[in-house]
Structure 1
């Protein structure tokens, strides 16, 4: 049986599907952090600071806050706000349409939501580019940032924003930061905890059922969030099955090899093959 056919079979057999989305998924969807896309959107920042890619640029010690937010506002717009619905994410949503499913993701680009996945079925563990928080977490409220960010992009000149646009915490008056888990001050607000509870409840109610753990583009940067728990639950739950799609990093421990399918290939190519397989059989797979 071809890999695409096996993936389709396992999805169709499952009582519940848990999708684990990592950075490799967004890369497969075209949201790469290096190469032509980076050069096209950040040419002046590359020339001035010698930046190599968007990931490492996120840790660059910009000399001033005006320069930092000039870069970050561009980064947020590029990866969060200036994106249309993505075909790959929408195709993945169609794969589980009508099936009990839940998404856990370390991605912060909001693409599952943009593709039409139910907000109540998504747990974004690491934050969201579209939110600001107090840099020192003096309180646990998060703030939508689109209006502020777009104004920063609109008014930046010479890799700087006006000082008046630097975001400040409305409670303590200190700096604001993008809501990303990068230090000990990450805010886990009530919505974050509610999403965690919904995820745990979903796992709990389906642990005795045919549950499919569908891991997409999860690497070894933060394996303790998705990958290791998926492996452990596959081993522990009698009817569980694990599928890993990840170019260059598709593997599973020996203990679950008979309950696992690891496909070392581009996620977009695999999903496209599922579409083709469905069409050739006269089925509306996607």
Structure 2
């Protein structure tokens, strides 16, 4: 099936659906200007100060850094927190919201992204599941409690040259130890799952209510296949949008080659600007 046929077929699925499951990986944010950490060189382009240390994304996105070099770890996450707060979600988010508004059961989001862009775009916070956690909540480094709390009061000041945090690091309100983002990192045994588990229970309940589900997956690659596998479990109407890795078994769905914003606009054009 060529791209034009896939778009027309996908539009029929969206038109017929009574619920929209939106699944998204890191590629969803690229059209909003967020960095793509694809490969070590891509990561170092976004964080040149970490090239000096020889750190890969896996090295710095690791809870061990909060013990060995907490100011560097918080410099990295503090920079990302400030970046995500300043980022404006691209037009594709509004298109998805528009489609969902016409469906009986609306939409639910399942994402591996920690950036909070769906909330910022206006999606219902009770209809978002963040399987890797979120940078906008904090937890204790030692997981002294299962509670997490909003990061709103933390305003990071990061040295762009050294990638070191220059102001006070956030503390746990329960034990006064160091706090960290409530994000599932590499080799992470201290991640507090309570908040994410609650989100996923709400998602499971919502899925049970939907009779004609359409799944729109965007920017989810093979390197970390959590989102792709989740999408495929909810076929047979999975619309996989990806510039390169858009292949999908025919029994589960169809693939559309392209970036998220562009492909969503093409789909919306076929839908005539309305579902």
TM-score (norm 2): 0.81
Greater relative contact order (Cα < 8 A, sep 6+): 2
| 1:80-114 alpha-carbon deviations (Å, 9 max, x no partner) | 21112432222222232222221111111011111
**Closer, same or farther in 2 for the Cα pair 1:3/1:30, shift >3 Å?**
farther
Gaps of at least 5 residues in structure 1 are 235-239
* Superposition pairs of residues 1-286 of structure 1, within 5 angstroms: 2-33=5-36, 39=45, 42=47, 45-46=49-50, 48-49=52-53, 57-59=60-62, 64-78=69-83, 80-99=84-103, 100=105, 101-148=107-154, 150=155, 152-153=156-157, 159-162=163-166, 165-182=168-185, 183-189=188-194, 191-206=195-210, 209-223=211-225, 225-234=226-235, 240-253=236-249, 257-278=250-271, 283-285=272-274
Supply the distance in 1 between the matched residues of 2:253 and 2:164 (Cα, whole angstroms): 50
2:126 is paired with a residue whose SS is helix
Supply the distance in 2 between the matched residues of 1:21 and 1:124 (Cα, whole angstroms): 10
Gaps of at least 5 residues in structure 2 are none
Greater share of helix: 1
TM-score (norm 1): 0.78
The structure that has the greater radius of gyration is 1
Report if aligned partners of 1:105, 1:124 keep a CA contact under 8 Å in 2.
Answer: yes
Supply the distance in 2 between the matched residues of 1:263 and 1:159 (Cα, whole angstroms): 38
Supply the distance in 2 between the matched residues of 1:21 and 1:36 (Cα, whole angstroms): 20
Supply the distance in 1 between the matched residues of 2:191 and 2:43 (Cα, whole angstroms): 29
- Aligned alpha-carbon RMSD (Å): 3.0
